Amino acid sequence: MTPSARLSAAIEILGDIEARRRPAADALKDWGLSHRFAGSGDRAALAGLVYDTLRRRASARWLMDSEAPRASLIGMLVLQRGETIETLDALFSGERFAPEPLTEDERKALAERKLEQAAPDIQADVPNWLWSSFEAAFGEDAIAEGRALAERAPVDLRVNTLKASRDKLLAELEPLHASATPLSRWGVRVPLGPDGRSPAIQSEESFQKGWFEVQDEGSQLAGLVAAARPGEQVLDLCAGGGGKTLEFAAAMENKGQVFATDSDKRRLAPIHDRLARAGVRNVQVRTPRGSLPIDDLDGRMDLVLVDAPCSGSGTWRRSPDTKWRMRPSSLADRQKDQATVLKAGARAVKPGGRLVFVTCSVLPEENDASVKAFLADHADFTAAPLSELAKGAGLSAFARFGSSGGTGLQLSPHRSGTDGFFIALLHRA
C-alpha cells in the first residue's frame, strides 16, 4: 500500500470505530481480515495512524473545526507528526487510492486556528467531563500531563533476577539500543523504532530463556514499594497475568510463598507459562470458583497487594481509545469495586503486616479518595509517609511524586516518565 492508500484506509477504520462505538483493536482486526492483500507492514502502519489519531482526537477535531474521521486524521498529521500543507497536498491528491484533495474549509482551518486558543481540556486531549479531576491531580501541569499521555510509550522490561542481572540483559539487548530505566533498579527501556513501532521483543532469545518480562517501569516501582522479602507470605489479590507475582517471586529469591488469584480466571490464564519460563517455584495460583479462594489466608499475610480495578486512565498512551469510551458512571462503579477488593485484602493482612493499594489511574476519585474511604472504615490501618515508600524503593526522588491527596505516590508520563500509577502503602497495627 502507498502512504496515501494507508491514509484512505485509516479514514475508513476511524469511521467504523465512530459509527459502531467499538474498540479500535476490533475495527483494525476486521479491516485486516477483509483486506488480506495488506501486509504486516501495512497493518502496523494503519494501527499507528488510527491510534495516533485517537490520541489527539479532541485537539485534532478542534484544529480542523470538524468531527469527521478525515478531519481528525488530518489534524493528527499536523499536530502529532508535523506534516505541512505541502506534504498534505502530496498525500491527499485524489489520485489512485489516495484521499480527496484538501478542501477550502480544511485549508482555512489549518491556516487560521491555533491550538493555544482552545480550552485546556482540548489542548490536553482529555475528555471534558474528566478535566476537573485532571486539574485536581496535576494542577498547573494538567495540560502537560494530558499531552504526555497522548504520546507513544516506550517498551519497558523488568530483568528476572532469578536468571540474569540487568547488566547481562543490557549487553544482550544492545542491538536494540536498550538502556537502564532511570527509576527502577530492575528496569530496562527499549526505544521505539524509527517508524514508531515497538520491537518484537518477545522473539528475543533472552525472553525465551526467561531473563525478562515486559512490565512498565511504574508497575515495577509498585513492586519495589511493596518490598516483598525472602520467606514472607504474600497475596497478590488481583494478579491478572502475573506481572507483579513474578516480580515478588524474584525479590523473594523463590523463598516463602506467593498466593496469586484474580476474580476473573481468564485473566490468570497466561500466568502458568510465565511462571515456568521465569523459573519461579514459590507461587501458588488459586483459580476462582465463583468467589475469591482466600478465606483460609485471613490474618496470615505479611504483604497483600491490591492491584485494584480502575479506569485505566494511566495507560492512555497504550490504549488511547479507552479514554473516549469512558463514561461518568464508570468511576462510581470502579470505586465500589475497589472498596470490595480492599476489604477482602485487608482481612488477609496479619497484625503488623502491610497492604499495598495500586491503580493504573491518574484520577483522584480512584486513588486518594478510595484510600481515605478505606481508612475511615478500618481504624487499624494507617497510610505510610512518602519517606517510607521512598526507602522501600531505594529512591529519594519519590518525594516529588506525592499524590494531590497526600495518601501515596502518583506517577505519570510527564512527572516520572512512566505510565500513570498510584501507589499507597498501608500498615495494619
Residues noted as catalytic: 360
Cβ-proximal residues to 312 (8 Å cutoff; 6+ apart), any chain? 319, 322, 360, 361
Instruction: Count other Cβ atoms within 10 Å, centred on residue 255.
Output: 12
- Does 333 count as an annotated binding residue? no
- Length, in residues, of the chain: 429
C-alpha span between 308 and 366 (Å, rounded): 9
- Does 236 count as an annotated binding residue? no
Q: Report how far Cα 159 is from the mean position of its chain's Cα atoms.
A: 19
Is residue 37 helix, strand or coil? Answer: coil
**Is the distance from CB of 55 to CB of 150 less than 8 angstroms?**
yes
Instruction: Count other Cβ atoms within 10 Å, centred on residue 259.
Output: 23
**Is the distance from CB of 74 to CB of 52 less than 8 angstroms?**
no
C-alpha span between 30 and 181 (Å, rounded): 37
**Is the distance from CB of 302 to CB of 355 less than 8 angstroms?**
no
* Beta strands at 257-261 and 283-286: parallel, antiparallel or unpaired: parallel
C-alpha span between 61 and 121 (Å, rounded): 13
What's the order of all strands across the beta sheet hosting 187-190? Answer: 179-180, 187-190, 155-159, 212-214
Instruction: Count other Cβ atoms within 10 Å, centred on residue 121.
Output: 21
Residues making up the annotated binding site for S-adenosyl-L-methionine are 262, 307
